[in-house]
Amino acid sequence: MPQLIKDRAIADDRWTLIRDIDQFATVPADVPVIVPLAFWQPQRDALLARGNVGVWLAPNDDPAALAGDIGQLPLIAVDFPKFTDGRGYSTGRLLREKYGYTGELRAIGDILRDQLYYLHACGFNAFAVRADRDLADALKGFGDFSDNYQTTVDRPVPLFRRREASDGGVLPA
Amino acid sequence: MYRYDQYDQRFVDERVAQFRDQTRRFLAGELTEDEFRPLRLQNGLYIQRYAPMLRIAVPYGLLSSTQLRTLAHIGRKYDRGYGHFTTRQNIQFNWPRLEDTPDILAELARVEMHAIQTSGNCIRNITSDHFAGVAGDELLDPRPYCELFRQWSTLHPEFAYLPRKFKIAVSGSTIDRAATLVHDIGVHAVRNDAGEVGFRVLVGGGLGRTPIVGHVIREFVPRAEVLNYFDAIMRVYNRFGRRDNMYKARIKILVKEMKLDVFREHVETEWERLQGGPATVTDAEIARLSTFFDAPAYVKLPGEDAGFRSAVADNRAFANWVKRNVFPHKVPGYAAVTLSLKKTGMPPGDATSNQMDAVADLADAYSFGELRVSHEQNLIFADVRQEALLALWGELKDLGFATPNIGLLTDIICCPGGDFCSLANAKSIPIAEAIQRRFDDLDYLYDLGDIALNISGCMNACGHHHVGNIGVLGVDKNGEEWYQVSIGGDQGMQASLGKVIGPSFAAKEMPDVVERLVDVYVERRHEDERFIDTVRRLGIDPFKERVYAAAH
């Protein structure tokens, strides 16, 4: 079984990523699938009835398209066709912070060790690291930094407010 | 100036360790060139024409003497004994070795410096007014906010892979000395009808291939909301900015194609959600940051020093220098001094390691151990006692930094150009030097008064040629170096972009071209009219006619 990084550990990947929708028909009904948004939208009810379904978003897909289904999707993936295409970082934050998504948020595509720290800060908790790379090596990416100045998904209170708190101030509720 | 606490120090230390490992993996073949490129760029490292170039951040242009000594040391140990101050108030070294870069970054971290995000498609060094905190025309000292913005933009996890580079400039004054109108975001301190000081925010300005003057996106953003508002702008840009064509990827193109009103709607919608949230700036943080920029231990002095006044009266050369290189200070008896890095024969903005060490000593002796870099590529001592100006002038003359030409035709803004840069179409430094040699008569230069001449070796416009009163752009024609000339550009609150006067010129023609432009000005100017105002009044035609008539 293929593997990925989930919650900062190497884990088996049960999910089949459907990039080409023609491929969908060949997948047994009990295999969990991640389908593209363009397939999800017209087939939503049938896919929900099937179960075991997640949706992946392309860089230019609007996460608002999943706003109504946030509670029903165990997995949302965001595609990074090239690691230098940073749109997915905003997509991740919007899913977590604006739409309140709490399920598995998976980064797929050109996912490499040197981007994991930032991706994690933007709300991703699963990483389908590119197949030619070593997962154990990629795990080291989480240790690049021990904090952020900014508001992040994993640490919503920015450093300047925590500095204040450490000086005897009060953390915001 | 700002001093790191344990958090700031840990960020730069961790960054050094991260880049050391990335460099190791690249050299070991574990990272491809394409994978390594954005990582090294975000640490300031370019691969240049002859060697790598390392650009080091000088946040909003502020340096301590200790930091400058470290830069001098880096120039000596890892480079060829000099550095180049840039139009982003940074410094770059043109000859370091890739393998040495992690060690250089480690040396920088020891004096609270870094090269983070000085290149790449991310938020670059925040720039500001080089007279911040000492100018009499300020609504607020921008430096605490610049530091707030520095921290907000540093290692921002969401905005490290933007469509293109992103530059922010901040002015706390009614006079814009930071070219804020030609930045991706420009910020002006303003007072609203209720008497509160906040920020006017401009967006979509920039030079480069498609020069555009920025548009006001919001007349007033409360100071507490500024980071929320920035996050909103950045998120809209990150999501919708073009990524299909790097020449159309800057925010200015997005704003133009989307239309300002639609762009603003997106930003306002995003801001509405963020308002009052955790990134809202607290008074306590501003108070903390402001303490680092408290006034130094000024002595109570009379408004004008008698010895200084008589030296100005008696010594014409000193008086000339005072007139051009000394800027009034808000505290009586003090002045801000510009060290000209525009001596004829020296590449504009360059300083040797020995000069840097000497400047550091002078900063300690004359200006509380601090200095600034201006985006015009000069250095500033912001807090000099008037009574010490004569002695300082003498020291600066010995160093070659007392050329009394600030704001004059020979105070040329100039990129490194084809002598160093692999992007350049043409050399720029020799053009600057040829023009400086032609205009070597100081009396004539003083008579001409303020003329900004800016030279870029390519479309990327590092020399800000579009906002030069006279702008020179290096172009490539069939493998030869040619120069396109524009006039009428200006920075400041009334920023304008220069208009190209016609077909380009060979390098050897450039001094004549500039001379003819200046001749038209001298003949047609009204009394006390600056070059830029004459150009605005007359339009470009009389200038164009003279230049091209003479050419045939």
Q: Assess whether B152 and B174 both reside in one domain.
A: yes
| Contact criterion met (CB < 8 Å) for B288 and A164 | yes
DSSP B137-179: TBSS-SHHHHHHHHHHHTT-TTSSS-SS-B-EEEE-BSS--S-
* Total Cβ atoms within 10 A of residue B388: 20
- Looking at B326-421, list the stretches that DSSP marks H as alpha helix, in order from N- to C-terminal side: 353-366, 389-399
User: Any idea what the CATH number is for the domain that residue B34 is in?
Assistant: 3.90.480.20
Reduced to 3 states, what is the DSSP secondary structure of residue B239? helix
In a domain, B119, yes or no: no
- Interchain proximity A89–B278, CB inside 8 Å: no
In a domain, B405, yes or no: no
CA distance A29 to chain B (A): 35
How many interface pairs between A and B have CB atoms less than 8 angstroms apart? 106
Give the type of residue at B199.
Answer: F
The residues in B 50-89 lying below 8 A from A, measured between CB atoms, are none
CA distance B267 to chain A (A): 14
pTM of the shown model: 0.96
Closest approach of chain B CAs to the CA of A27, in angstroms?
A: 33
What residue in A sits closest to B37 (Cα-Cα)? A84
DSSP A134-162: -HHHHHGGGGS-S--SS--SSS-S-HHHH
> Contact B7/A147, CB-based, under 8 Å?
yes
pLDDT in tens, B457-495: 999 999 999 999 999 999 999 999 999 999 999 999 999
Mutation site, B161, B166, B226, B229, interface A, largest A CB count within 10 A: B161
Of A144, A150, A157, the CB nearest to B156: A150
Q: Which among B253, B286, B319 is the end of a domain?
A: B286
Kindly report the nearest CA distance between residue A43 and chain B, in angstroms: 26
Write the DSSP symbol of residue B76. Answer: H
Q: Read off the CATH number of the domain in which B194 is found.
A: 3.30.413.10
Contact assessment for residue B61 and residue B90, using Cβ atoms and an 8 Å cutoff: no
Q: How far is CA A28 from the centre of its chain?
A: 24
The contacts of residue B73 (CB under 8 Å, 6+ apart) are B107, B353
Rounded to 5 degrees, φ, ψ at B437 are -70, -40
Residue B453, strand partner residues: B470
Q: CB of B326 within 8 A of CB of B336?
A: yes
Cα gap B391→B386, rounded to integer Å: 10
The one-character DSSP state at A98 is I
For chain B, list residues with pLDDT below 50.
none
Report chain A residues touching chain B, CB-CB < 8 A: 59, 83-87, 89-91, 93-94, 98, 112, 114-115, 117-119, 121-122, 144-152, 156-161, 163-164, 169, 172
B197-203: strand order across its sheet: B127-128, B168-171, B185-191, B197-203, B215-221
Is B176 a domain residue?
A: yes
Asked if B311 and B452 sit in the same domain, the reply is: no
From residue B347, how far is each of B38, B377, B391 by CA, in Å? 29, 11, 26
The DSSP 8-state label assigned to residue B525 in this structure reads: P
d(CA B269, CA B239): 14
Strands (E) in B42-193, as ranges, are 45-47, 52-56, 62-64, 82-85, 91-93, 127-128, 168-171, 185-191
Q: Where are the alpha helices (DSSP H) in B241-299?
A: 251-258, 260-274, 283-291
Q: Residue B242, class by beta-carbon neighbours within 10 Å (0-12 exposed, 13-18 middle, 19+ buried)?
A: middle
Q: Residue B154: closest CA among chain A residues belongs to which residue?
A: A149
| Phi/psi of residue B52, nearest 5 degrees | -65, 160
CA pseudo-torsion sign B48, B54, B58, B63: negative
Q: Answer whether B451's CB lies under 8 Å from B457's CB.
A: no
For residues B397 and B288, give the distance between their C-alpha atoms in angstroms, rounded to a whole number: 39
B35: nearest CB among A89, A90, A112: A112
CB–CB of A150/B156 below 8 Å? yes
Distances (CA, A) of B552 to B170, B501, B520, B545: 46, 16, 17, 11
Locate the DSSP E strands across A7-112.
9-12, 16-17, 33-36, 53-57, 75-80, 104-109
Residue B451 lies in a domain: yes
Judged by CB atoms closer than 8 Å, whether chains meet at A122 and B281 is answered as: no
Q: Is residue B363 part of a domain?
A: yes
Domains of chain A from N-terminus onward: 3-145 (3.20.20.70)
Nearest residue to A78 via CA among A51, A50, A57, A55: A57
B493 and B525 share one domain? yes
Out of B5, B35, B282, closest to residue A161 by CB: B282
Q: Do A145 and B18 touch (CB under 8 A)?
A: yes
3-state secondary structure (DSSP) of residue B543 = helix
Question: Cβ contacts (< 8 Å) between A171 and chain B: which residues?
Answer: none
pLDDT tens digits along B109-151: 999 999 999 999 999 999 999 999 999 999 999 999 999 999 9
Total structural domains within chain B: 4
Chain A residue nearest residue B14, CA to CA: A145
Residues B432 and B493 grouped into a single domain: yes
Q: Does B478 touch chain A (CB under 8 A)?
A: no
Residues B152 and B280 in one domain: yes
Q: Which amino acid is at B302?
A: P
A148·B22 Cβ contact <8 A: no
Domain endpoint, select from B399, B427, B451? B399
Residues B354 and B496 both lie in one domain:
no
Write the residue in A89, A91, A114 that is nearest to B22 by C-beta: A114
What tokens does B378 get? 């000069």
Residues B442 and B501 in one domain: yes
Residue B383 belongs to a domain: yes
Strands across the sheet with B45-47, in order?
B45-47, B52-56, B91-93, B82-85, B350-352
Neighbours of A19 (CB within 10 A): 12
CB–CB contact B161 A164 (8 Å): no
Let me know whether B141 and B274 are in one domain: yes
Place of tokens 């205009």: B439
Residues 412-451 of B with CB under 8 A from A: none
Q: A105 vs A37, A75, A112, A141, B155, CA distance in Å?
A: 15, 6, 16, 18, 22
B158–A117: do the CB atoms touch at under 8 Å?
no
| Cβ-contact B142, B198 below 8 angstroms | no
Last residue of a domain, one of B399, B421, B439: B399
Q: How far is A86 from chain B (nearest CA, A)?
A: 5
Q: Are residues B234 and B151 in the same domain?
A: yes
pLDDT in tens, chain A (173 residues): 899 999 999 999 999 999 999 999 999 999 999 999 999 999 999 999 999 999 999 999 999 999 999 999 999 999 999 999 999 999 999 999 999 999 999 999 999 999 999 999 999 999 999 999 999 999 999 999 999 999 999 999 999 999 977 765 444 44
CB contact under 8 A, A160 and B281: yes
Is B220 part of a structural domain of the chain? Answer: yes
Q: Determine whether the interchain pair B157/A117 forms a contact, defined as Cβ–Cβ distance below 8 Å.
A: yes
- CB-based contact B339:B130 (threshold 8 Å): no
Mark yes or no for CB contact A87/B238 under 8 Å: yes
Contact state of B7 with A87 under an 8 Å Cβ cutoff: no
Torsion of the alpha carbons at A134, A139, A143 and A149, rounded to the nearest 10 = 110
For residue B541, the enclosing domain spans 413-551
On whether any CB of chain A is under 8 Å from the CB of B273, the answer is yes
Residue of B nearest to A92 (CA): B158
Nearest residue of A to residue B276, measured between CA atoms: A172
B152 and A87: CB-CB below 8 Å? no
CB B90 within 8 A of CB B372: no
B252 is a domain residue? yes
ipTM, two decimals: 0.96
Q: Which of A144, A145, A150 sits opposite B152 (nearest CB)?
A: A150
Is the minimum CB–CB distance between B239 and chain A shorter than 8 Å? yes
Nearest CA distance, B162 vs chain A (angstrom): 6
Q: How many helices (H) and strands (E) does chain B have?
A: 18, 21
Using CA atoms, how far residue A44 sits from A33, A37, A63, A65, B163, in Å, is: 13, 10, 15, 12, 32
Which pLDDT tens digit goes with each residue over B147-197? 999 999 999 999 999 999 999 999 999 999 999 999 999 999 999 999 999
- Residue B148's closest chain A neighbor by CA? A160
Lookup result for tokens 């008539």: B549
Residues B276 and A173: their CA atoms lie apart, in Å, by 12
Q: What is the pLDDT of residue A167?
A: 61
B338, B383: one domain: yes
Return the biggest CA–CA distance within chain A. Answer: 61
- Regarding whether B456 and B525 lie in a shared domain, the answer is yes
Same domain, B156 and B244: yes
- Cβ atoms of B31 and B22 within 8 Å: the answer is yes
Instruction: In whole angstroms, give the CA distance from residue B109 to residue B86.
Output: 21
CA distances from B157 to A80, B273, B274 (A): 15, 19, 17
From the list A85, A114, A158, the residue facing B39 with the nearest CB is: A114
